A and B are shown apart, each in its own frame.
Chain A
Amino acid sequence: MDAQALWLSVRLAAATTGALIVLGMPLAYWLGRSTRRWKVLVEAVVALPLVLPPTVLGFYVLVAVSPRSPIGRWYEALTGSRLPFTFGGLLVASVLYSLPFAVQPMAVAFGQVERRLLEASWTLGEGRLGTFARTVAPLALPGIVTGAVLAFAHTLGEFGVVLMVGGNIPGETRTVSISIYDHVQALDYAAAGETAALLLAVSFLVLAITYGLQRRAWAVWPGR
């Protein structure tokens, strides 16, 4: 088993989830509560990674962050390093790739918070941020947790995007799914099977725990 690859995958998944909570939550809130008509366009863009082949997404990310592109040049000027075939590049690609998995459950949960609860909070003197923190976020917590867990599990298992943007550099971009692929290529079925089983078990456990927690969460808030 490739412990280095597993550790890298966990780090990548955690960083991606963190980034998606910070960036995805405001986006999800807007998607869940806005009544603007052109919202559907944004919804479609967010959902693109669900249907796009990972290689296509990976290809565009690779082109976008290459040292010849404006983004790539700007990043290099800012940090002195490049994005393609690095952990940073992988993180950018993962955030985009897992965006719908995080944003969609959050947006649904935010959209289900009744408007009169927000109005009640406002008339009781609470501003928009306070209303979000004290009322919207706690009520939408199951959706937020679902989004975060799905993003984590999805990033843990990504393959195509990683290969396109990150390549296969041990300790830097070689994630656990790529290590499985390598083992199979080398006809080392035993090692591949071991890692695959571990990935399967971890994914199952994470999902089972999440759904179990949600059931409990609903039970203590009856009458919704």
Chain B
Amino acid sequence: MAGSLALDLERRYRGGAVVRAELEVPLEPAGVTVLFGPSGSGKTTILRCVAGLERPDAGAVRFADEVWSDAGSGRWVPPQRRRVGFLHQEPALFPHRTVRGNVAFGLRRVPRAERAERVEELLRRFGLSALAERRPGALSGGERQRVAVARALAPWPRLLLLDEPLSALDAPTREELRLELRRHLVAAGVPSLLVTHDRTEAMVLGDRIAVVVDGGIRQVGAVEEVFSRPADPEVARAVGVETVVAARVRERREGLLVLETHGRRLVALDPGVPGEEVLACIRAEEVVLRLTEPVAESARNHLPGTVSMIRREGPLERIILDCGFELAALVTPEARRELGLEPGRSVVAVVKAPAVHCIPRSAPPG
């Protein structure tokens, strides 16, 4: 399936709120695009317009070579014929049907044998076989959300839309389901659009991220790129000021993780398994800059680099270093003057191991 999902829409609400979205999501390769932004920024509206559950007041939604909605020509494809999977915030399971009945719901027109086979396959894949005859009322929150994902994937959707799929769960379950969901989304190979306001969720689940602020899409790009290089202060505020860089776990040593990224080594404290891909996050406030390599110091990470950019940020200044990857540091103007920080200046960034926070991107193999 080639092409892309292209949105250029506007939805106006009584009371004056307007949501605008211009976004193109490639369908090949089938990745997860995260719509990320604070609550009330219009992410859910955009998702519902793509599903056909809401009608844009202006603009169009195109999927590959189909026009799903076009306010100009009045063209409208109802949700039934878009063949998308949609996941609500709260899993909207049919309470009068069993787990099996829920998963089979969208397969009514599929021949009986094939339907049974598909349902069994999904129950197995989602670890629901033992619960197949239970009704939703007798399931835990995590189990319900698994059923909802399995049900949405059953009729071979061309696009999967997820509206804060983990937000209704308690924290431990959310943690547990996050990686599992990522694995399912990758295994299903269905292009997905996922709404969330949770940074970790965005980083774990997303391949691409579109930042939504005040009813509009401000920046689109790879997850690490958007988190490390927000396009403007509002995006920076939405994503949080942090360096995010893809890394691989090289080894575990004395309870610490040694990561490798862009030819540099980073020592972190988080749990992890060698060989695993992670995103290493370093808050700009926790980066200390000095002019010379220390002889001996407690901090484990010394990263020599050159200053590439300086930007004023409130009372502080944001220094972007090039040390194999882009690393942001927040310093006071006084410190900048003392160190004589200018673009091109060589410095050493010092980061303690516990300040390097690792987010696993995919489940460990096996």
Distance in Å: Cβ of B159 to nearest Cβ of chain A:
10
Question: A119 near B137 (CB under 8 angstroms)?
Answer: no
CA distance A122 to B108 in the complex (A): 13
Say if the beta carbon of A22 comes within 8 Å of chain B. no
Residues of B within 8 A of A121 (CB): 94, 105
Say if the beta carbon of A138 comes within 8 Å of chain B. yes
Residues of A within 8 A of B106 (CB): 124-126
Question: A224 near B53 (CB under 8 angstroms)?
Answer: no
Say if the beta carbon of B92 comes within 8 Å of chain A. yes
Given contacts A122-B53, A124-B151, A223-B135, contact A117 B79 (CB under 8 A): no
Say if the beta carbon of B214 comes within 8 Å of chain A. no
CA distance A164 to B86 in the complex (A): 56
Chain A, residue nearest B101 (CB) = A134
Given contacts A125-B80, A139-B95, A221-B96, contact A119 B135 (CB under 8 A): no
A188-224: contact bitstring with B at CB < 8 Å (1 yes, 0 no)? 0000000000000000000000000000000011111
How many interface residues does A have (CB within 8 Å)?
22
Distance in Å: Cβ of A10 to nearest Cβ of chain B:
32
User: Across the A-B interface, how many residue pairs have beta carbons closer than 8 Å?
Assistant: 74
Question: B138 near A123 (CB under 8 angstroms)?
Answer: no
Question: A223 near B95 (CB under 8 angstroms)?
Answer: yes
Residues of A within 8 A of B52 (CB): 122-123
Say if the beta carbon of B320 comes within 8 Å of chain A. no
| Residue from A125, A130, A139 with most neighbouring chain B CB atoms (10 Å) | A125
Say if the beta carbon of A116 comes within 8 Å of chain B. yes
Question: B96 near A126 (CB under 8 angstroms)?
Answer: no
Question: B96 near A139 (CB under 8 angstroms)?
Answer: yes
Question: B83 near A125 (CB under 8 angstroms)?
Answer: yes
Interface size class of B (residues with CB under 8 A): 20 to 34
Say if the beta carbon of A135 comes within 8 Å of chain B. yes
Question: A117 near B53 (CB under 8 angstroms)?
Answer: no
Say if the beta carbon of A63 comes within 8 Å of chain B. no
Residues of A within 8 A of B137 (CB): 221-224
CA distance A224 to B96 in the complex (A): 9
**Quick one: which of A117, A125, A126 contacts B92, CB cutoff 8 A?**
A117
A72-129 with Cβ < 8 A to chain B: 114, 116-117, 119-127
Distance in Å: Cβ of A101 to nearest Cβ of chain B:
25
Say if the beta carbon of B272 comes within 8 Å of chain A. no
CA distance A220 to B98 in the complex (A): 11
Say if the beta carbon of B358 comes within 8 Å of chain A. no
CA distance A116 to B106 in the complex (A): 15
Question: A221 near B84 (CB under 8 angstroms)?
Answer: no
Residues of A within 8 A of B155 (CB): 124-125
Question: B88 near A223 (CB under 8 angstroms)?
Answer: no
Given contacts A124-B155, A139-B96, contact A222 B86 (CB under 8 A): no
| A to B CB contacts below 8 Å, 15 in the list | A119-B86, A120-B88, A120-B93, A120-B151, A122-B53, A123-B51, A123-B79, A123-B85, A124-B105, A125-B80, A125-B109, A126-B106, A126-B108, A221-B95, A223-B137
- Given A120-B94, A123-B51, A123-B80, 6 further pairs, Cβ under 8 A: A119-B88, A122-B78, A126-B106, A130-B108, A139-B96, A223-B138
Nearest 7 CB-CB pairings of A with B: A223-B137, A124-B106, A222-B137, A116-B92, A123-B86, A120-B92, A122-B79
Which chain B residues have a beta carbon within 8 Å of chain A's beta carbons?
51-53, 78-86, 88, 90, 92-96, 105-106, 108-109, 135-138, 151-152, 155
